[in-house]
Amino acid sequence: MKLPVKDISGKPKGELEVNLPLIEDGRGTQAVHDTVVAFMAAQRSGTACTKTAGDVNGTNKKPWKQKGTGRARAGSFASPLWRGGGVVFGPKPRSYRKKVSKSTRHLSLRKALTERLKSSDILVVDQITFETPKTKGFQSFLAAQNITGTVLIVSQGTDKNLTLSARNVPGVELTTSKDLNTFQVLRYDKMIVTQGALQDLQDRLNKE
């Protein structure tokens, strides 16, 4: 598969042969689901915490004597039945992380990239560099690439001027070919990948 390459101003710069290990059959759908579910679960903080009857601060004194008052029996001010008492089976701090094998993550990324390539949602530019950090310059770059919705920028490495130029533009995320994951590939309307990042991504997927 060949993809057209443009420069930062949107002018054609030729074509690039894509050597990604694409998936032509129906495999990988379940791998994508498992990987995305695991990614989203890992984003949960898991810090919710409630107090049981044993955690509630207060005295252990019996509210009133067992018999003779005409009231129901009560043994503790921390009873879950009372206002201010403990909580029964309430949440405690926990981790929501799910284990996904390396081969499953690899397959899911290949599947996601295959579908985005088939849909012509991946654009290739030779490089994305700015002499100074300017939000207007980055917006001009997006306009030159005919980007109107959300977009994921995949570069070969981190660039300070690019990061500062894009950080105030809504619907834009920056990542590198090393850190790219399945969730990012599927989340955005379009992907812009630099030539160097695409080469690194090919090396990464062909090696794994």
Which CATH number fits the domain that encloses residue 178? 3.40.1370.10
Which tokens in the block code for residue 167? 């950080």
pLDDT tens digits along 191-200: 999 999 999 9
pLDDT tens profile 104-127: 999 999 999 999 999 999 999 999
Average pLDDT over residues 38-59: 94
Q: What is the pLDDT of residue 208?
A: 63
> Which residue reads 């695991």 in tokens?
38
N-to-C CA span, the chain? 21
Same-domain status, 152 and 164 = yes
Q: What is the pLDDT of residues 76-110, one digit of tens each?
A: 999 999 999 999 999 999 999 999 999 999 999 99
In a shared domain, residues 166 and 182: yes
| Phi then psi dihedrals of residue 183, to 5 deg | -60, -45
Range of the domain at 87: 47-95
Q: What integer pLDDT is reported at residue 26 of this predicted model?
A: 79
Same domain for 134 and 77, yes or no, is: no
Question: What's the number of domains the chain is made of?
Answer: 2
79, 152: one domain: no
What length does the chain have? 208
Instruction: Give yes or no for residue 172 having a pLDDT over 90.
Output: yes
User: Rounded to an integer, what is the distance from CA 162 to the centroid of its chain?
Assistant: 20
Q: Are residues 68 and 154 in the same domain?
A: no
The more confident residue out of 30 and 24 is 30
Same domain? For 163 and 75 the reply is: no
Predicted confidence at residue 17, as pLDDT, reads 86
